[in-house]
Amino acid sequence: MAEVLLYHHIQGLTDGVRAFAEDLRQAGHTVHTPDLFDGRTFATIQEGFGFARDAGFEAIRERGIAAADQLAPGLVYAGFSFGVTIAQRLAQTRPGARGALLMHSCMPVTEYGDTWPQGLPVQIHGKEGDEFFDEDLPAARELADSTPVAELFVYPGDQHLFADSSLDAYDPQAAALLMERVQAFLASTKEGSGEHSTGSLGHEAADRSMGDRSAGSLKVAGRADWCAVR
């Protein structure tokens, strides 16, 4: 089973993020969920942004890095939106990473290095009409095109944090499909090896309907700082 370090989004370590982690634990994985906001959660993205701005975005990210330093290598780094800025950085720079799960966001690879680490599996998930994810979609596509061990899943709709069951943005159907894909990703990542069954990786899947999981191929280029606001 995998060991996952999961970073919350800009609204904090919500009940929905906790529930997501618990679902992974029920499947047999070890999941760590550091609380970067010291118990605070926020009803809106704007409120969470205000808190993070006052506390200092980089100071909060450093707390996330410190949480990783307390754990052994061999982790899958996962993040929701703002949490991706920490998870992706660690996946690209910390030795021993086994995989990356980038949900609702994706930073340009060049933020943290020259190229994506060779052979490091990654999944990216977001909604096609999400105004935030739309700005990161070029970077996500560029990453997906750069390595055969990448999957980019684009879902219909415009909700941002659609996998958080405690928020109004929650989309049960899309969230269930995301969880199914995450579980498959973790199950095929061999513990401690950094290896992944490549199967259908290296493509972008466009879920035009949740019943018909047809895959489509799209293309891109990117920008970075919007992630900091979530």
pLDDT tens figures, 4-62: 999 999 999 999 999 999 999 999 999 999 999 999 999 999 999 999 999 999 999 99
What pLDDT, on the 0 to 100 scale, is given for residue 189? 85
pTM for the full predicted model? 0.86
The whole-number average pLDDT for the span 74-82 is 98
Query: What range does the domain containing 72 cover?
Result: 3-229
Q: What mean pLDDT comes out for the span 197-220?
A: 42
Provide the domain count of the chain: 1
d(CA 178, CA 164): 11
Q: What is the mean pLDDT of residues 63-68?
A: 98
pLDDT of 153 higher than 70:
yes
CATH number assigned to the domain comprising residue 61: 3.40.50.1820
- How big is the chain, counted in residues? 230
10: Cα separation from own chain's centroid: 13
Return the sign of the alpha-carbon dihedral for residues 164, 156, 81, 109: positive
| Interatomic CA distance for residues 178 and 188, integer angstroms | 15
Per-residue pLDDT at 216: 29
